[in-house]
Chain A
Amino acid sequence: MEIALQQMVNGLTVGAFYALIALGYTMVYGIIRLINFAHGDIYAVGAFFGLSVYGLLAFLHIENPVLTTLLALVVSMGCTGLLGVLLYRVAYRPLLHARLSILISAIGVSLTLEYGLFLIYSPSFLVYPHLFGRAGPSLGSIQISWLQAVIFVSSIVLMTALYLLVHRTKIGMAMRALAINQDAARLMGIDVNRVIGLTFFLGSTLAAFAGVLTGLYYSQISFLMGFLVGLKAFTAAVLGGIGNIPGAVLGGFLLGILEGLAAGYFSSRWKDVVAFGILIIILVVRPRGLLGERVVERM
């Protein structure tokens, strides 16, 4: 039981990363029906940008851990968000109406980002600054580090903010309108390209946030870190019901917990198989996911 609870705490932390990345998949899919293959790598780019900011601040002798972390988060989120918009404009926008081509273009973007990081930064693991120790409150024998608590709470805050943005603001209404019918939305005077661009921006900033926190949590990052995590975040999005924002959050946390339990009770070497097994079963048994609506293929 203690193993289960401890694994659930760890699973909630990893689940927060999955949920933050899954939101990017789900928003983009909801609006332009694209599985953005490169989204996992956007998350990796966010982690590397964050590392660069830490490096720069250390060079300038700014060493307050809270201040540097906030700066790393904000700068990395901004830059990664802009990169997301740029990639949309260059690699996706011209292919919006070619389903197969745009997916292959997305694979190309994924490889470009991975090996771009490989060349610019390093082919091996890079070490993140070790700012926050393992200390924290303990409930009985269950250890929770402050970092885990911060990751969990800040992710929830960001997700709530996103939910409010999509459901309570005018731009959010435009996004939802696009998801329902792009042509009708354009006729209503919505600047379709700007709204899609904003969607890519928001998704990329959330991924970058997850990337920097991943670096702090695992204290190391590599250029390929986004591939597997991206796949699992997509799994989470599908699990919750793709196109659905609360679904992505639920799917992310659920996948994190299931994976944590699988690692605790079987072996961590098989936890990826558990994740992909869940993906295949969900797609076969309930393709619309836990909270999703029925989607009919009509392209």
Chain B
Amino acid sequence: MKVPTGHSYSPYWVALTVAVVLVAIGLPFFGDAYLIDVGTLVLIYVMLGLGLNVVVGYAGLLDLGYAAFFAIGAYVTALLMVRYHLGFWVTLPVAAFTTALSGVIIGTPTLRMRSDYLAIVTLGFGEIVRIAATNLTFTGGPEGVYGIPHPTIGSLVLRSPRAMYFLGMAFALLVLAGSYNLARSRLGRAWLAIREDEAAAQAAGIYPVYFKLMAYVLGAVFAGAAGSFFAVKLTAINPSSFTFIQSVTILMVIILGGMGSLPGVILGAAVIVILPEALRAFDQVRMLAFGIGLIVLMLLRPQGLWPSRIGQIERRAVATSEASAAAGVSSDTPSTTG
């Protein structure tokens, strides 16, 4: 039996990675405004996907109202910038803090629940946030908030699509580095332990509710940052961007790519944004295809397009050790019986 090696990359994947990096860097110089905007949208979904990946992929908590945190981040930045004329960089920590706080408020009582109940509560929370944003007057009602100013760095105003693309890229890279390190931290190992076997993790001294809350709040903060960026990128936001379908779309990003896998999330974000853009002519059947695609994907490839190698290596290692144990047993048996 071939012993699994941790760090073997096939040339095919190396080529693909290099191609993705080249496209990501080259796009703002060679693409037109439309292509750059599509690229920026991919970056927003990369941020959202990476954030939700912490919650669903790392900690194994199904969150169906993730768009709520995205909405809170976007609304905090938009309202502070438009109504109180604060700068973007001041609103960013406020947005992060507000989303973290709402994550704690909604997470503390609910993370003790059965996992499928959690899915429904998060869904209800997402709907409450959206309905509140639609009905309240200070959030601008169904029209939302518009005329959000452009962010500035010193005296430089980031107005062009290209400048926003680079800002988005900086955000996405920060989030990427953050999730990469999280997965390999003490926190990441605790999440893995809880996800694989909660009772065993608890027996080993890991208090699941605390670590689940950490995952939930960190995921919320990532979504809040993505929301802040989204608000200044679009300069106008309204509740229709934060529906249940938005939450499902973000979930699709990580399921498509493979839960827990960072390259998978990037690939998933690209597919989710570019495929509908490419299929714009078939707008009518888009959602139907989406639904059928979801079922087919679950039936044929539930682990996603580019699954996480962390879980895989361990499963393979377990399979190998079990296989060798079985082989040992079967080679022993004749000698004992004979």
B120–A35 CB distance below 8 A: yes
Residues in A89-116 with C-beta less than 8 Å from chain B? 90-91, 94-95, 98-105, 107-116
Is B255's beta carbon under 8 Å from chain A? yes
B298–A272 CB distance below 8 A: no
A111–B113 CB distance below 8 A: no
Across-interface contacts of B35 in A (CB, < 8 A): none
Q: Which of A15-23, A200-208, A278-286 contacts its partner?
A: A278-286
Closest-by-CB residue of A relative to B289 is A115
Contact of B120 among A102, A114, A227, A279 (CB under 8 A): A279
Contact of B117 among A90, A94, A231, A287 (CB under 8 A): A287
Is B244's beta carbon under 8 Å from chain A? yes
Residues in B167-223 with C-beta less than 8 Å from chain A? none
Is A119's beta carbon under 8 Å from chain B? yes
Across-interface contacts of B120 in A (CB, < 8 A): 35, 231, 234, 238, 279, 283
Least Cβ distance of A135 to chain B in Å? 35
B123–A231 CB distance below 8 A: yes
Across-interface contacts of A100 in B (CB, < 8 A): 60, 62
B295–A103 CB distance below 8 A: no
Is A136's beta carbon under 8 Å from chain B? no
Is B140's beta carbon under 8 Å from chain A? no
A280–B117 CB distance below 8 A: no
Least Cβ distance of A119 to chain B in Å? 6
Across-interface contacts of B281 in A (CB, < 8 A): none
Interchain CA distance A17-B115 in the complex, whole Å = 27
A276–B127 CB distance below 8 A: yes
Closest-by-CB residue of B relative to A120 is B288
Across-interface contacts of A280 in B (CB, < 8 A): 110, 121, 124-125
Residues in B94-132 with C-beta less than 8 Å from chain A? 109-110, 113-117, 119-121, 123-125, 127-128, 131-132
Is A295's beta carbon under 8 Å from chain B? yes
B299–A284 CB distance below 8 A: no
Interchain CA distance A270-B134 in the complex, whole Å = 10
Is B317's beta carbon under 8 Å from chain A? no
Instruction: Knowing A105-B299, A107-B248, A269-B135 are in contact, say whether A231-B124 is a contact too (CB < 8 A).
Output: yes
Contact of B114 among A103, A118, A235, A295 (CB under 8 A): A295
Interchain CA distance A111-B286 in the complex, whole Å = 10
Is A297's beta carbon under 8 Å from chain B? yes
Contact of B115 among A102, A118, A235, A297 (CB under 8 A): A297
B62–A273 CB distance below 8 A: no
Least Cβ distance of B272 to chain A in Å? 14
A115–B291 CB distance below 8 A: yes
Contact of A284 among B60, B109, B127, B293 (CB under 8 A): B109
A108–B288 CB distance below 8 A: no
A273–B290 CB distance below 8 A: no
Least Cβ distance of B115 to chain A in Å? 7
Closest-by-CB residue of A relative to B64 is A107
Is A65's beta carbon under 8 Å from chain B? no
Across-interface contacts of B113 in A (CB, < 8 A): 283-284, 287
Across-interface contacts of A234 in B (CB, < 8 A): 120
Residues in A110-132 with C-beta less than 8 Å from chain B? 110-116, 118-119
Closest-by-CB residue of B relative to A234 is B120
Across-interface contacts of A231 in B (CB, < 8 A): 120, 123-124, 127
Across-interface contacts of B117 in A (CB, < 8 A): 238, 283, 287
Closest-by-CB residue of A relative to B284 is A119
Interchain CA distance A105-B299 in the complex, whole Å = 8
Contact of B292 among A94, A102, A108, A118 (CB under 8 A): A108
Contact of A108 among B128, B131, B295 (CB under 8 A): B295
Is B294's beta carbon under 8 Å from chain A? yes
A109–B299 CB distance below 8 A: no
Least Cβ distance of B7 to chain A in Å? 28
B288–A112 CB distance below 8 A: yes
A108–B124 CB distance below 8 A: no
Instruction: Knowing A231-B127, A284-B110 are in contact, say whether A115-B62 is a contact too (CB < 8 A).
Output: no
Instruction: Knowing A94-B299, A112-B288 are in contact, say whether A105-B62 is a contact too (CB < 8 A).
Output: no
Provide a sorted-by-A list of 8 A–B residue pairs whose CB atoms are within 8 angstroms.
A91-B295, A108-B291, A112-B292, A118-B288, A119-B284, A119-B288, A231-B120, A287-B113
Interface residues of A (CB under 8 A from B): 33, 35, 90-91, 94-95, 98-105, 107-116, 118-119, 227, 231, 234-235, 238, 269-270, 272-273, 276-277, 279-280, 283-284, 287, 295, 297
Known: A111-B287, A284-B109. 19 other contacts (CB 8 A): A91-B298, A95-B298, A98-B298, A107-B251, A107-B294, A108-B293, A111-B290, A112-B288, A114-B291, A115-B285, A115-B288, A119-B288, A231-B127, A234-B120, A269-B135, A279-B120, A280-B110, A283-B120, A287-B113
